[in-house]
Amino acid sequence: MSAVKSFIDFMPWNDRYRIDRTDSVMTPALAIYPDAVDHNIRVTLGLLGNDPNRWRPHVKTSKIESVIRRLVESGVRNFKCATTLELIHACEAGAADVLLAYPAMGANAQRVLAIALQYPHVSISVLVETSEQLQPWRGSRIGIFVDINPGMNRTGILQDDSAGLLTLTKSIVAAGSHFRGLHYYDGHLGHEPASQRSEMAHRGYDRLMQIVDELATGGIVVEEVITSGTPSFPCAISYERFRTARFVWRASPGTVVYSDATSLAQLPDLGYLPAALVITRVVSHPRGNIVTCDAGHKSVSADAGVPTCLVLGHAELVPTTPSEEHLPLQVTSGKSPKLGELLYLLPRHVCPTVNNFDYALMARQGRVESVEKVSARGREIPIRISSSTTRSA
């Protein structure tokens, strides 16, 4: 985090991020900077050889329909999502192809089928890791990706289970479903030192290529391979065999659209900029070297640990453990900020932070241009009851 902190301290953030006339802004508030969003999109596409077809960003980060549209307008048409609400908004924003990259079971699977009927022009796919998950998709137009566990141990079939992978893919074809390809999320490598990350990632990709060859020997053609969230994105770019493969390779970093303190530290020197900040006010001076602002963990996500964020332009302010609505800051030098003073926070994990807000301020050149709903935050209504349903007494 020290490298990104130095970058933030050096960056002339006032010129880019400060919003004028904030006396009417209730805090905490989520601010999105479209110019920085567009910049980050251009950087990502440049790293992919200016080929939008190579990018399948995860919309769990952006969550705002207009931001997803900015991606579509840049030529990006393939997306990933984790919830049915994100799936709907990706379809509404103009996506051509969306993968629900989360195991859909029970009523969730039925809802995906209903959404597919609602958006027949969008190619919709799901993940499976076992033949038990195939039943809901039989006879539907839903595409199937096999989810491979590269060592993250969150979901997927183990990458060393060659027999299981061949059996599963053959089951997909036998069921009459469309086998789209392989999903390989190696996000756990973000915890590894940058000096070792590429070597470890490339060993995994070597195994992935072996899997493709093993399936081909078994008569199964892999159309697409999806790898790499934000941490391992540069590792996949530098893997030469993806460029010449018979399948379509797509990377799926989504955090880069907004960037956060963690991703800026993981991807140094690539040119990304913060595009989402939390504006907060100092509300208390509980003691001499502590000030408190109104951005607790119900605003700035704490899932990445403490500190939850960095304070732009204030190296002397160090966030400590937050409460639900309070964020104490230790003042390590100089004067404390005054009561009511605005601070701009860069989250360590922007994706769940965006999910904490119902609305976002869209800001450009010091002015709030619009207020937009964070339309894909949260979840859909969990049960739909028909009007004819009655309750028993």
Q: In this predicted model, what pLDDT tens digit does every residue of 149-199 receive, in sequence order? A: 999 999 999 999 999 999 999 999 999 999 999 999 998 988 888 889 999
Beta-strand pair 143-149/157-158:
parallel
Q: At residue 389, does pLDDT exceed 70?
A: no
Cβ 41 vs Cβ 257: under 8 Å? yes
Domain boundary among 259, 292, 308: 259
Peptide bond preceding 52: is omega within 30 degrees of 0, i.e. cis? no
Q: In this predicted model, what pLDDT tens digit does every residue of 299-334 receive, in sequence order? A: 999 999 999 999 998 999 999 999 999 999 999 999
Query: Does 89 share its domain with 120?
Result: yes
Q: Which domain holds residue 153?
A: 35-259
Query: Does 148 share its domain with 243?
Result: yes
162 located within any domain: yes
303 located within any domain: yes
**pLDDT given at position 191:** 85
Mean predicted lDDT score pLDDT of the chain: 94
How many structural domains are present in the chain? 2
Q: Average pLDDT, stretch 288-300?
A: 97
75 located within any domain: yes
- Residue 226 belongs to domain with CATH number: 3.20.20.10
**pLDDT given at position 391:** 47
390 located within any domain: no
Query: Does 189 share its domain with 158?
Result: yes
Q: At residue 16, does pLDDT exceed 60?
A: yes
- Residue 359 belongs to domain with CATH number: 2.40.37.20
Q: At residue 89, does pLDDT exceed 70?
A: yes
Cβ 145 vs Cβ 126: under 8 Å? yes
Contacts of 195 (CB under 8 A, 6+ apart): none
Q: In this predicted model, what pLDDT tens digit does every residue of 58-75 receive, in sequence order? A: 999 999 999 999 999 999
**pTM of the model as a whole:** 0.94
210 located within any domain: yes
Query: Does 99 share its domain with 221?
Result: yes
